[in-house]
Amino acid sequence: MFSKILIANRGEIALRIQRACREMGIKTVAVHSTADADAMHVRLADEAVCIGPPSSRDSYLNVAAILSAATITGAEAIHPGYGFLSENADFAETVEAHGLAFIGPTAEHIRTMGDKITAKTTMRALGVPLVPGSDGALADLNMARKVAEEIGYPVLIKAAAGGGGRGMKVAQTADDIEEAWSVARTEARAAFGNDEVYLEKYLDRPRHIELQIMADMHGNVVHFGERDCSLQRRHQKLLEEAGSPALEPAERDAIGATATAALTKLGYRNAGTLEFLYQDGQFCFIEMNTRLQVEHPVTEMVCDVDLVREQIRIAAGEPLGYTQSDIKVSGHAIECRINAENPETFVPNPGTIKVFHAPGGLGVRMDSAIYAGYRVPPYYDSMIAKLIVHAPTRAEAISRMQRALDECVVEGVQTVIPLHRKILADPSFQKGDYTIHWLENFVASQT
Ligand code: ADP
């Protein structure tokens, strides 16, 4: 096992990884920008190294500074968390070239899944069902028209390098295809420096359901069930559940078997998430994330597993030590992402947290790096906490989340807590009756 791990991230996820390390008796190295000198992940780490100025490009994305920090502190492995360098294949490769372990998949698999076209062709070859669409990249507008006619409108033009919902445009009819084609490509070129696009059938009322996978270096692959992440605004998830209110256990087992068989054939290692759109009982693969997800705690609660600990054990070469039949999904978990944003306009609201009281009690978990007096910096993501509850049934989990949100006090910055309260009180949400479009409509209906 490693004796020291460098955590190349900040905020709640840096703290989350640190907690797993501490419980495993592993020393931690925090890295931070000058804006984060007082951050909790820095205060609680065994060692901390400043890696640059506030801008992410110069600090949390600064590969040379992070590798120097690892070298001078004698760290043996690097955990990238989510975001920042977590899905950067070159980074994973460089880490390993320096004789350190990268706590994640191989650079090759990160690269394959980072290009959504390659990801889809790879998954199709492995027997995973896809959203109907173009067979690879679109060569030109004529090809886009032709494929759209074949599969039928509406269609979605998506960037091969896409992420965060950018470079994605819907064409409702043939009249819109030219504009969707050019806007998607322009956006993709601006955001990713790559204007390669592909086309998918636009599903009108799917749920976003994703599967948590874990694979060791000895060919063992398991899944920890699904998360329903349909509640999104501008393709950003806001509230997640495990399991999905829409899925029967037999459907979970079936897609789980397909996914684990595919990743076994691929020789995948460490944590990964397969994202699907689910409509009319069909799963359609859209992308794979080759890292820990923000919403991993809901899976941890229902499966009673520490996914970060598993990632570290696997990176150190340990076998899983259990099989699929040992994994049981029990009860229901919900996560609310607490962003420092205006709950109506969603404009980020950085500032100083004057009062903070974290909720507690049975089945309540708060993953956060904030404290009273902490200044939320304006440079990074606006998520300041994740509130997670676990209860025997979905109805009880909803009541528990409502109770926990009522207990939660954050003063000094605005948060989206009032919106979460409204969602949890909504009858359609309570019935589990929602698709990926539900939240946008709900937000619009509130104003
Ligand atoms: P990104 O990597 O930019 O997040 P994804 O491919 O994961 O892109 O898609 C993000 C979201 O966009 C999905 O969660 C879903 O809400 C929506 N979406 C993606 N593909 C489709 C599709 N074919 N039909 C309808 N909605 C889609």
Domain spans in the chain, listed from the N-terminal domain onward: 4-103, 141-201, 207-445
Q: Are 46 and 29 in contact (CB under 8 A)?
A: yes
- Asked if 64 and 88 touch (Cβ cutoff 8 Å), the reply is no
* Segment 52-57 long-range contacts (CB within 8 Å, at least 24 positions apart): 54/377, 54/379, 55/379, 56/84, 56/379, 56/380
Helix or strand run (H / E) with residue 259: helix 249-266
* Cβ atoms 197, 161 nearer than 8 A: no
Ligand 1 centroid distance, CA of 233 (Å): 12
Q: Which atom of ligand 1 lies at the shortest distance from residue 131's CA?
A: 23
Cα(158) to centroid of ligand 1, in Å?
9
CA dist., res. 209 & res. 306, Å (int): 21
User: What local confidence, expressed as pLDDT, does residue 163 receive?
Assistant: 84
Q: Residue 362 in 3-state DSSP?
A: coil
What pLDDT digit, counting tens, does each position of 251-310 carry?
999 999 999 999 999 999 999 999 999 999 999 999 999 999 999 999 999 999 999 999
Q: 3-class DSSP state for residue 118? A: helix
CB contact set of 50 (below 8 Å; sequence gap of 6+)? 31, 32, 33, 34, 37
CB 238 less than 6 A from any atom of ligand 1: no
For the segment 146-160, what is each residue's pLDDT rounded down to a tens digit?
A: 999 999 999 999 999
pLDDT of residue 162: 87
Q: Give residue 35's pLDDT band: very low, low, confident or very high (50, 70, 90).
A: very high
Query: H helices of 155-248, where?
Result: 177-192
Catalytic sites, residue numbers: 291
Distance CA 42, CA 32 (A): 7
pLDDT at 359: 98
Please state which of the four CATH numbers 3.40.50.12780, 3.40.50.1820, 3.40.800.10, 3.30.1490.20 is assigned to the domain occupying 141-201.
3.30.1490.20
Q: What is the CA radius of gyration of the chain?
A: 21
Q: Is the CB of 154 under 6 A from ligand 1?
A: no
Q: Is the pLDDT of residue 66 over 90?
A: yes
pLDDT of residue 183: 95
> What DSSP character marks residue 174?
G
Distance CA 148, CA 51 (A): 48
Q: Which of 113, 235, 288 to mutate to test the pocket of ligand 1 (most atoms within 8 A of CB)?
A: 235
Q: Enter the DSSP assignment of 34.
A: G
pLDDT at 344: 93
Average pLDDT (180-188) is 95
- Distance of CA 286 from the midpoint of ligand 1 (Å): 7
Residue pair 14/22 in contact (Cβ under 8 Å)? The answer is: no
Query: Which of the four pLDDT bands, split at 50, 70 and 90, describes residue 166?
Result: confident
The CATH code belonging to domain 207-445 is 3.30.470.20
Read off the amino acid at residue 139. A
- pLDDT exceeds 80 at position 213: yes
C-alpha closest to that of 333 among 253, 417, 240, 438: 240
Distance CA 244, CA 293 (A): 17
DSSP characters over 313-326: HHHTT------GGG
Confidence of residue 177 (pLDDT cuts 50, 70, 90): very high
* pLDDT computed for residue 52 by the predictor: 98
Q: With bands split at pLDDT 50, 70 and 90, how would you rate the model's confidence at 242?
A: very high
**Alpha carbon nearest to ligand 1 atom 9, residue:** 165
Q: Say if CB 162 and CB 116 are below 8 A apart.
A: yes
Is residue 221's pLDDT more than 80?
yes
Yes or no: say if 212 and 299 are a contact pair by the CB < 8 Å rule.
yes
Q: Which CATH number fits domain 4-103: 3.30.390.30, 3.40.50.261, 2.60.40.10, 3.40.50.20?
A: 3.40.50.20
What is the model's pLDDT at position 445? 95
Q: What Å distances lie between residue 417 and 29, 70, 295, 346, 409, CA to CA?
A: 32, 38, 17, 12, 10
Return the residue whose CA atom lies nearest to atom 2 of ligand 1: 163
**What pLDDT does residue 191 have?**
92
Give the position of tokens 């290009």.
115
In ligand 1, the atom with minimum distance to the C-alpha of 166 is: 3
* Mean pLDDT on 419-425: 98
Residue to mutate, 118, 436, 439, ligand 1, most ligand atoms under 8 Å from C-beta: 436
- Gap between the Cα atoms of 332 and 301, Å rounded: 8
Residue 88: pLDDT band (50, 70, 90) is very high
Token pair 């204007």 is found at: 195
CB of 49 shorter than 6 A to ligand 1: no
Q: Does the CB atom of residue 398 touch ligand 1 within 6 A?
A: no
Nearest-angstrom CA–CA distance, 227 and 41: 27
Q: Residue type at 44?
A: L
Q: Could you report the per-residue pLDDT of 93-145, keeping only the tens digit for each? A: 999 999 999 999 999 999 999 999 999 999 999 999 999 999 999 999 999 99
Number of Cβ within a 10 Å radius of residue 384: 23
pTM of the full predicted structure? 0.97
pLDDT at 447 over 80: no
**Interface predicted TM-score of the whole assembly (ipTM), two decimals:** 0.96
Residue nearest to atom 1 of ligand 1 (CA): 163
* Residue 103 three-state SS: coil
For 5, 8, 294, 311, the CA distances from 17, given in Å and listed in that order, are 10, 10, 12, 10
Mutate to test the pocket of ligand 1, among 229, 286, 287, 441 (most ligand atoms within 8 A of CB): 286
User: For tokens 């950067």, what's the residue?
Assistant: 88
How far apart, in whole angstroms, are the C-alpha atoms of residue 338 and residue 360? 16
| Residue 389 burial by Cβ neighbours in a 10 Å radius (0-12, 13-18, 19+) | buried
Q: How far is CA 271 from CA 210, 379, 425, 432, in A?
A: 13, 28, 34, 28
Q: Are 141 and 181 a contacting pair, CB within 8 Å?
A: yes
| Atom of ligand 1 minimally distant from the CA of 286 | 6
Distances (CA, A) of 386 to 274, 294, 319, 361: 22, 9, 30, 16
